[in-house]
Amino acid sequence: MTLQDRRRARMRGGLGLVGTMLMTAGIAAILFAWWGVAHTGYVWEQIPYVVSGGMLGLGLIAVGGFLYFGSWLTRLVEEQRQTAQALRVLLEERAERIEQY
């Protein structure tokens, strides 16, 4: 494994971890907003909870989801590259065997 491969793997793992943490923080923000809204009966007191907690939570979930999706896509690309490289080696070996006969 080359240095560049290690960096890519670390970046992919970091993207997945950060994405998971942001989605978890977004869910927590939405739950705190819900708790604040549920414990007050006045609409004018509920609006700040919805705006700050709910909208922030949705934003964190969206950004975290994009980061996690990005890490998943990079994993798929790496697997595809490895598969293509293995296929290339097999085809070259087969071509050499055919040329020998």
Task: Tell me the pLDDT tens digit for each residue of 33-73.
Answer: 999 888 888 888 888 888 888 999 999 999 999 999 999 99
Q: Between 51 and 8, where is the model more confident? A: 51
- pTM across the whole model: 0.77
| CA-closest candidate to residue 77, choices 30, 19, 20, 11 | 11
Task: Return d(Cα 75, Cα 12) in angstroms, integer.
Answer: 7
Burial category of 20 from C-beta neighbours within 10 Å (exposed 0-12, middle 13-18, buried 19 and up): middle
DSSP assigned state of 39 = T
Q: Round to the nearest angstrom and report the end-to-end CA distance of the chain.
A: 35
